[in-house]
Amino acid sequence: MSTIRRQSIISSVVIYFGFAIGLVNTYFFTRQGNFTEAEYGLTTIFLAIATLMTSISLLGTPAYIYKFFPYYKDHLPDKKNDLLTWALLVSIGGFLLVATAGVIFKDLVIRKFGTNSPLLITYYDWIFPLGFGLTVYTLLEAFAWNLGKSVFTNFLREVQWRALISILIVLFVTGVLRDFGLFIALYAFTFPAIAVTLLIYLVATKKIHFTFRVSKVTRRYLGKIVALCSFVYGGTLVFTLSQVFDSFVIASVLPNGLANAGIFALASIITSIIQAPQRGIVAASIPHLSKAWKDKNMGLIQRIYERSSINQLIFASAIFLLIWMNFNDAILTFGLKPAYLDAAWVFFFLGLTRIIDMGTGVNAQIIATSTYWRFELQSGVILLLIILPLTYFLTKEYGIIGPAISHLVATTFYNGIRTGFLWKKFRLFPLTLNSALTVLLAAASYGVCYMAFHDMQGPAAMVLRSLVFILLFGAGVLYLKLSPDIRPVMQSLRKRLGI
């Protein structure tokens, strides 16, 4: 657990640093006088489409890497390890098929988005390099995670990628890039840039080898590999579609689609701050879960499950409430366009969604690395059947708040199903009494701050609310010993600081 804890903490620090850069980027995207809401919305739609393209192109190969990496490592020397070679070839082939479909069905995209989101049609072709870069990077990232390089890959995705966008924003705002079309063209090559960086790193450190000779491990497990990739691919695809469908509906259904997508994107990006620890914990946990299943170490799986739940619940509850109590003040204080005040309730429902998702621990990763990985597809289909029609009808009825509500409903049901499945099959359960205490403590701390400062506005009010909440919630977490990882972390900090 100490390895997972250390990598999770370091990754979380890296991710939060990246989010800090991302918030600066969002500020310049949304402040008055820089980009229009539609231009900002276009960058988010680009990312949503690239994410969907990547999900289709990968054909389940990251799951192949997660599940079978220990088998290749234990039975083959590095230079004869063909796992990454076949995964990369399959993914590149998948992307070529996706790109071909994108060209063939361009007229359909024009019909669906041309009226409410004309900028998407104007710059449509630049989606493809962005999608290709994200596809290659995601695959290399999965391989690097199993090498214990989760901190470095998180740095590339969360820090370097956002830093590249910061450079482009500065060049655009200062007039060096005078044309928004050039900005989008360069934006499209940000993911290819970090993919090349990771590839160079893996080659230079001799962590990666390519061989086109089929190994004995590939021959032995080929049937299981194909079955795994087929089922996980379906599950991943439906889950990804459920995550990006809201952006497509907003852009195509609502008047001023890209502008509304930009407002929704602001709430989504701020919500992603809540999710930062999840990425670090997932990256650090996957290799240990895969090996624990191989060794049939159910005790370790339960400890990872339980601790991932309480640690994420503590972080998610605290960060959500800190942002919520200061949301409107922050929009006005930092000079963002008044239109972005409409993102407040979108953030509220998306934030609750993240708390539920993170509070149920690494259930998706436990299922994906187990022998019941087929359930990922089955539960994913259920999620899709709920979220697609719900998002469409709630968006038409309630505007940009509709997709946020549909995410909350669907994610609650989805995680409930997966949590129940793990309990029924393996007697694994993430929640404890400390989970309930965490929620009650967070609510009580928020209530005190609301009663004390709800009449105050401006920067001073933001600082006071935040400090009082942090003191109340932090002291409560320490006093109640809500997480077994808190004491080791505090001891490590004291040791490093010489206290």
User: Given this model, what pLDDT does residue 33 score?
Assistant: 66
- Burial class of residue 219 (count of CB atoms within 10 Å of its CB; 0-12, 13-18, 19+): exposed
pLDDT tens sequence for the chain (499 residues): 455 556 666 766 777 788 789 888 988 888 776 788 888 888 988 988 899 899 899 988 888 888 888 888 888 887 888 888 999 999 999 999 999 999 998 887 777 776 778 888 899 999 999 999 999 999 999 899 888 787 888 899 989 999 999 999 999 988 898 889 999 999 999 999 999 999 999 999 888 888 888 888 888 888 888 887 887 777 677 777 777 888 888 888 888 778 888 888 888 888 988 887 777 777 778 778 888 888 889 999 999 999 989 999 999 999 999 999 999 898 888 878 888 898 999 999 999 999 999 999 888 889 888 888 778 777 777 888 888 899 999 998 899 999 999 999 999 998 999 999 999 999 999 999 999 999 999 999 999 999 988 888 888 889 999 999 999 999 999 999 998 877 776 666 566 555 5
The pLDDT value recorded for residue 168 is 95
Residue 102 is assigned to a structural domain of this protein: yes
Is residue 292 situated within a structural domain? yes
Under 8 Å CB-to-CB from 293, ≥6 apart: which residues?
A: 301, 369, 370, 371
- 50 contacts 131 by C-beta, under 8 angstroms: yes
Question: Residue 7's pLDDT is what?
Answer: 64
What pLDDT score does 187 carry?
Answer: 96
pTM greater than the 0.95 cutoff: no
User: Residue 418 corresponds to which amino acid?
Assistant: R
DSSP H helices, 254-373, are 257-274, 276-295, 298-324, 327-333, 344-359, 363-368
* Residues spanned by the domain of 195: 2-431
Total domains in the fold of the chain: 1
Domain contains 454:
no
**What is the Cα–Cα distance from 233 to 370, expressed in whole angstroms?**
15
Closest CA to 20 of 194, 193, 273, 265: 273
- Asked whether residue 469 is assigned to any structural domain, the reply reads no
- All residues at 6 or more sequence positions from 171 whose CB lies less than 8 Å from its CB, including other chains: 177, 183
Identify whether 95 is part of a domain. Answer: yes
Name residue 205's amino acid. Answer: T
Residue 390 located in a structural domain: yes
Cα(481)–Cα(147) distance, integer angstroms: 33
pLDDT the model gives residue 53: 92
Give the per-residue pLDDT at 499.
Answer: 58
Residue 123, Cα to own-chain centre: how many angstroms? 25
Cα–Cα distance measured from residue 157 to residue 46, given in angstroms and rounded to the nearest whole number? 16
In a domain, 80, yes or no: yes
